Amino acid sequence: MFRGASGKEPPSTVTVALRTNENANAKKMASHGDVRAIVPEDGVALQWRDVSYSVTKKAKSKDAPVEAKVILDGLSGDIFGGSLLALMGPSGSGKTSLLNALAFRVPKGPGASVSGTIYANGEEVATPTKMSRISAYVEQEDALFALSTVRETLTFAAKLRLPSDATAEEVEDAVSTVIADLGLVAAADTVVGNEMIRGISGGERKRVAIGMDLLHDPKLIFMDEPTSGLDAFQALNVMTTLKDLAVRKGRTVVASVHQPRSSIFALVDHLVLLSGGRAMYQGDGHKACSAHFAALGEPVPKDFNPADHFLDVISIDYRSPEQTVATKARIERIAKACDVKLHPLVAPAALAPAGADDDDAGTTRKEGEDAAKVGFVAAFWVPFTLLLARTWREQVRDVASLSIKYIMNTFFCLLFGIVYLRMKTDQTSIQDRTGILFFQAMNQAFGSAIGISKIIPSQLKVVNRERAARMYTPLPYYLSTFLVTLPLELFPGILYGTVIYFMTALREGTEYYLTYLAIMLLENFAGIGLGMVLSASFTSVEMAPQLAPAFVILFLMFSGFFLNENNVPIYLIWLREVSFIRYAFQALSVNEFKDATFSCSSGDTSCITGNEHLERLNFDDVTVGGNCAILAGIIVGFNLLALAIVYYRQPSYLALGKDKAKGT
């Protein structure tokens, strides 16, 4: 039996027998005053009281009232271990919002506020951190890395989520158990895939996403629309898996469910029906709900999916003014009839919360150690090495992207080599040498910055999910991503740079060649740094290749090639000062022309030396060492900026306030 009510205080003394599942292996008697409750030992009793969520919009004018939208209106309820609770309702009714509020996953946003109190096994859960320690949140979108296999994906999560002292066998066991429990044995060694790469099925993807959150054995599982995007068969499979987790493993599962077919609806133990953020029904599933609506004069028609019927009768029909009024009146009547009792809070002493917070005053050392062992924020090195391995794997397995990149590099390398083949050392070659050096500086910047700019957006969904689950902090993530890009960018850079140097016959001498390579590498690093800044700023993979070139072109304009140093408009001088292409091009030019002489045909009075050419370019004060030092500073600056953006953009959620989130 399950009871809840919208905005109602729990009765002071009630005697209830909470639902027990088929094999509720271990049950404990919990007492609260004269209340007796049975709670499966493994599960978490989740109780919420007066949960409200509203968003206020800025008033259009000074005198206009502040507009507030009430999304959840004082909802209260209970769910106990070993049960599957479905949050249902028409689109926009507040299912995801309630799920998020219960899981402390309501995103921070202007004007948004959430209030209420949530208890796990009778103890108030006060912070998102506490909730993340006892629960798992499986997002609607199963963001996964496409080129990792199911086993690799789960092993990565297991290594970060299991206690830090877990042995390799324990990790392997945990992964194998989840693979078996979720019916993923046949798919275990198949890559996850995406729209472009053939991989596992949609249902299997969903189960992998669930599996990643089950590895640390959470007692409480929140799932946002676990069946969305799946065909009927796969949807049933996933819901059966969830039911199984509740029944066999005693877990508490809360899922928002959209339009379930009747076989899925039959799996649901408890139901919260929402409309306009208010409770329309809270109680046991299928039969109890049917009886409740029949008593209200809204019986389920014969041969009709009960879930469809319930959603129909709590939806507003806007097709005509009369229908709108009639359906609104019906909804008011149904809301009023949703007047049921809540269970009193489970006594905290009966069951300790599943995740004692090691920061809490009064937490014993043992509890602190256990909580730390859960490893939600593992030390730097574990996530760093795991992330390094995963990012490397994803990059090198992306054969299509790597091939395109290397084919383009080879093309430009040969093009430049052939066009500027074996330049002479006469006066005409001064222009050619300047040209090839500029092309090199430009190509280096475009290649690295634009290539890198999509790396973070392409991982963003997965990384945000993992960071929301507190699997790692931004620093190991950023460093591992940055380091993986280096060999992939640098080795081809050295190779192609060398081929071009000798094909075009740039300045002879080992020291000039090595200086040229060093400048090119520094520019490459700076380009990677800019790419990381752009990458950290973009949210979509599509934005990166469209916007990144614009930024590179800005730096290109102030490289000193298109516009004389002295003619840069005063208000744009700052762009010139941060143009890493400029510093690279200047240094390459000085390396090539400083103290160099070029043959002059007899009678030609316009012949110049390398130094005079540098003077014309306004590069006469430039030193290679000075520019390399500036490039090093730019590299550090770009990377610090990118890291700061990654920190700033980490997912953050609203804490539950105590004052009711107010609406009009």
Q: Which residues bind ligand ATP (CB under 6 A)?
A: 55, 69, 71, 89, 91-97, 109, 112, 256, 258
- What is the smallest separation between the CB atom of 408 and ligand ATP, expressed in angstroms? 42
CB closer to ligand ATP, 307 vs 528 = 307
- What is the smallest separation between the CB atom of 537 and ligand ATP, expressed in angstroms? 22
Q: What is the dihedral of CA 472, 477, 479, 481, to 10 degrees?
A: 160
- What is the smallest separation between the CB atom of 202 and ligand ATP, expressed in angstroms? 18
- The whole-angstrom distance between residue 448's C-alpha and the CA centroid of its chain comes to 24
- The whole-angstrom distance between residue 542's C-alpha and the CA centroid of its chain comes to 16
Amino acid at 538: F
The helix/strand count (H/E) of the chain reads as 22, 12
CB 556 within 8 A of CB 445: yes
- What is the smallest separation between the CB atom of 106 and ligand ATP, expressed in angstroms? 8
- For residue 115, what is the enclosing H or E element? strand 112-120
CA separation for the pair 529, 307 (Å, rounded): 53
- What is the smallest separation between the CB atom of 313 and ligand ATP, expressed in angstroms? 16
CB closer to ligand ATP, 317 vs 398 = 317
CB 247 within 8 A of CB 80: no
CA separation for the pair 538, 451 (Å, rounded): 13
CA distances from 619 to 556, 562, 589, 611 (A): 16, 14, 8, 9
- What is the smallest separation between the CB atom of 34 and ligand ATP, expressed in angstroms? 38
CB closer to ligand ATP, 113 vs 639 = 113
CB 132 within 8 A of CB 470: yes
Q: Provide the β-strand partners of residue 47.
A: 78, 119
CB closer to ligand ATP, 97 vs 504 = 97
- What is the smallest separation between the CB atom of 259 and ligand ATP, expressed in angstroms? 9
CB closer to ligand ATP, 68 vs 337 = 68
- What is the smallest separation between the CB atom of 8 and ligand ATP, expressed in angstroms? 22
- What is the smallest separation between the CB atom of 73 and ligand ATP, expressed in angstroms? 11
CA separation for the pair 76, 149 (Å, rounded): 41
CB closer to ligand ATP, 109 vs 633 = 109
CB closer to ligand ATP, 96 vs 282 = 96
CB closer to ligand ATP, 30 vs 257 = 257
- What is the smallest separation between the CB atom of 257 and ligand ATP, expressed in angstroms? 9
CB closer to ligand ATP, 223 vs 522 = 223
Q: Provide the β-strand partners of residue 29.
A: 38
CB 449 within 8 A of CB 580: no
DSSP string, 271-339: EEEEETTEEEEEEESHHHHHHHHHHTT-PPPTT--HHHHHHHHTS---SSHHHHHHHHHHHHHHHHH-B
Other C-beta atoms within 10 Å of 17: how many?
Answer: 9
Q: Provide the β-strand partners of residue 278.
A: 275
Token pair recorded at residue 490: 């640098």
CB closer to ligand ATP, 72 vs 460 = 72
CB closer to ligand ATP, 97 vs 241 = 97
Residues in the chain: 664
- What is the smallest separation between the CB atom of 95 and ligand ATP, expressed in angstroms? 4
CB 185 within 8 A of CB 157: no
Other C-beta atoms within 10 Å of 316: how many?
Answer: 16
- For residue 136, what is the enclosing H or E element? strand 135-138
